[in-house]
Amino acid sequence: MSMLIVAGLCLLYLGWLIGKPYYIDYRRDQRRKQAFPLAWLAILRRRVPYYRLLPPDLQAQLRGHIQVFLAEKDFIGCAGLDVDDEMRITIAAQACLLILNRKTDYYPKLERILIYPGAFMVKKQEIDEAGVLSEYHDELAGESWGDGQVILSWQDAADDARFFSDGRNVVLHEFAHQLDQEKGAATGAPILARAEHYRPWSEALGAEYEQLRQHADAELDTLFDYYGAEHPAEFFAVITEVFFEQPQAMATMHPELYRQLKNFYRVDPFDWH
């Protein structure tokens, strides 16, 4: 008898495991179809002017993604900050720009977004080649962790949403890291749609990364922030910011790189600006 109960429980568990992805898809579909609250729409229009650039079908897709994102992710205020809908919508809208038109699992590793009122201090450690450990404090606008959280400065997230053509956007930057971290440590190579995409991706990004490093060393003018020369993962995050915010300049000055990102993000911001 007890064997039967155990077998029944195992079957139930197995059924749950098999059915869970379908249930999640169903719930997400329901959420996307819900009416988007008018108060949220007003925030979206006021706080995220980029929204108005999008064609109507992508605006609708973005509203649907925001509803799923807000239902699935926790927002936590830090340093006494009270999180409100202005913050949640402004951050979710920018994060969800990166998943338009793509098969998405809504940043599956991400559980929570921590928000500070402004730039926040973090303690960093560094060991140099001689084995000397040094500690220092760094002031950051954002940070993306591989184990479930993104940390953002609200001041920077709000300002970067407002000035959407300057090629700088902390939310796009940190969520590009999240895409990169879906397969493990951030390397500048997120999961691509097809196996044959990896080679042209690594050739184009590798060559441009090297060029940025050289130009940064020589202190030459560049479209991309020198910060992108620090690591291939930072390069991917930095070019993502420029792809969405300065697509004409990027398509003209770095056509192959632009093509690779257009292929990856499955949108063409060139047509929106």
Give the nearest distance from C-beta 131 to Zn ion in angstroms.
26
Give the nearest distance from C-beta 236 to Zn ion in angstroms.
9
* DSSP at 196: G
Give the nearest distance from C-beta 256 to Zn ion in angstroms.
23
Determine how β-strand 112-116 pairs with β-strand 149-153: parallel
Minimal CB distance to Zn ion: which residue?
Answer: 237
Give the nearest distance from C-beta 112 to Zn ion in angstroms.
18
- 8 A C-beta contact, residue 150 and residue 110: yes
Nearest to 175 by CA among 74, 114, 92, 270: 92
Binding site for Zn ion (CB under 5 A): 234, 237
Please say which residue, 97 or 237, places its beta carbon nearer to Zn ion. Answer: 237
Give the nearest distance from C-beta 140 to Zn ion in angstroms.
9
Rounded Cα distance between 114 and 112, Å, is 6
Is residue 222 classed as helix, strand or coil in its secondary structure?
Answer: coil
Based on the number of CB atoms within 10 Å of its own CB, is 89 exposed (0-12), middle (13-18) or buried (19 or more)? Answer: buried
Please say which residue, 70 or 151, places its beta carbon nearer to Zn ion. Answer: 151
Based on the number of CB atoms within 10 Å of its own CB, is 169 exposed (0-12), middle (13-18) or buried (19 or more)? Answer: buried
Please say which residue, 29 or 166, places its beta carbon nearer to Zn ion. Answer: 166
Please say which residue, 90 or 144, places its beta carbon nearer to Zn ion. Answer: 144
Give the nearest distance from C-beta 102 to Zn ion in angstroms.
21
Please say which residue, 152 or 237, places its beta carbon nearer to Zn ion. Answer: 237
Please say which residue, 67 or 234, places its beta carbon nearer to Zn ion. Answer: 234
Structure tokens at 80: 């006494």
Is residue 139 classed as helix, strand or coil in its secondary structure?
Answer: strand
